[in-house]
Amino acid sequence: MKITRSEVEHVARLARLELSDSELDTFTGQMDGILAYVEKLNALDTEGIVPTSHAVPMENAFRPDQPADSIGVEAALANAPQRAESFFRVPKVIE
C-alpha cells in the first residue's frame, strides 16, 4: 500500500498539524513504511488464533474494599504546603 503526500496532508489537517514541506516528505516515507509493515502482518495466516487485548494474561490487581477509620484531618494536612482551616489551600485556577 502506498500512501500519498496529499493523504498525509489530509491526516495532518485532521490532526490540526501544520507541517513544512520537508516534514510532509519525511512523514510520507515513514507512514508508507508503517503501512507496508501492516500489509505484511495482514498476509499472516491467523486462522484459529483467538483475538487478544493483551499479550500476556492480566488479572485485576485491586484488593477488595475494606472499611477502615479515616486518618483524620490533622494527619491528612500534616505535609500540606498551605492550608485554610481544615482544607488544602491551592492556587486559584478559575477567574
Residues 6+ apart with CB under 8 A from 9: 19, 24
- Contacts made by residues 23-28, CB under 8 angstroms, sequence distance 24+: 28/3, 28/4
Q: Convert the pLDDT of each residue in 2-54 to its tens digit.
A: 899 999 999 999 999 999 999 999 999 999 999 999 999 888 898 888 888 88
Q: Supply the pTM of this predicted model.
A: 0.49
pLDDT of res. 95: 76
CA distance 54 to 52: 6
